[in-house]
Homo-oligomer: A and B are copies of this chain.
Amino acid sequence: MLSDIERCRRFSRAVTKVTGALDTSFLGRGRPLGVARVLNAIGHGRQDVGDVRAYLGLDSGLMSRILRTLEEEGLIIVTPDPDDQRKRRATLTPAGEAEYGEYERLSDERAEGLLTPHPKANPILEAMDLLASALLKDQWEVVELDPRDPVSRYCLEEYYAELNRRFDGGFDVKRSADPDAKDMIPPRGSFLVCLSDGMPLACVGLKGTDKGYAEIKRLWVAPAARGLGLARRMMADTEARARELGISVLRLDTNKRLPEAIDFYRKDGWVEIDRFNDDPYPDYFFEKLL
């Protein structure tokens, strides 16, 4: 009935209608939008004046005047940067903290107001996650974390839960050779997580061994981010990291219930090899020479 473009435009009309109000809601505390945006940027931890200016795309003159306004209101203090006296740093006063908190509260309230009319919010939240991840595609941030970090733990739990749903007879981490965290920390290995505006979207582990190869483990992509090419990106980043760590042979194993993964490895330059371990779960074994 509607073309792809019409569907897309309908979406953006709907969104600008509803969240347009949500965005302009910076108003409602008797402060112009520009001033409120600067206050919120500072509250979010951007202290460097030039940094805020670049982030919000403001002219230096305008920025300067906005800072004076906030200073006169007693919400911020601007001090010279000790390392470079030309630069200046803005910090919130207690009153500024309180005001920033109010904006946070109002934003939460708006967000909640967007959800409450819908008794079954889950499909809506999932659609939001998917779209946010897709729209922020060029702002994915891949970071190396300790596998015991809470963010890493979250990704791993999601990964195990999915395996448990999909494998015949479920999946129990304890029966699998749970890679020791130490093997996934540099210089022996690595653990990468992809964050998109605070949401963990994917993880992958590079596990060092003493057998002349390293293993790729725990490649997981959040349902909200599938089909966006994120698995390929994570693998490319891991391979780059492996090279940095002097690793030249990679191996991995996977299960027949994960056909999209098997397909992906084949397309991504992996070669099927014979079974190289006695883990009970995997059915397929791959190798890649860097």
Interface residues of A (CB under 8 A from B): 1-2, 4-20, 22-23, 107-108, 111-112, 114-115, 117-121, 123-132, 134-137, 151, 154, 197-200, 226-229
Contacts and interface: CB of A to CB of B under 8 A. Distances in A.
B114 A8 contact: yes
A134 B226 CA distance: 23
In the assembly, how many copies of this chain are there? 2
By secondary structure, the A interface counts as helix
A218 B156 CA distance: 45
In the A-B complex, the 9 residue pairs with the smallest Cβ-Cβ separation, listed nearest first, are A11-B128, A127-B127, A14-B132, A8-B111, A120-B227, A14-B135, A18-B135, A11-B132, A127-B130
A202 B261 CA distance: 37
A163 B191 CA distance: 47
A115 B199 contact: no
A266 B200 CA distance: 42
Contact of A128 (B8, B22, B200): B8
B5 A111 contact: yes
Given A8-B125, A131-B127, A16 B19 contact: yes
Nearest to A128: B11
A36 to B, nearest CB: 14
A197 B9 CA distance: 10
A7 B125 contact: yes
B124 A131 contact: yes
Given A127-B127, A198-B2, A8 B115 contact: yes
Given A2-B198, A5-B112, A227-B123, A22 B17 contact: no
Nearest to A132: B14
A195 B157 CA distance: 42
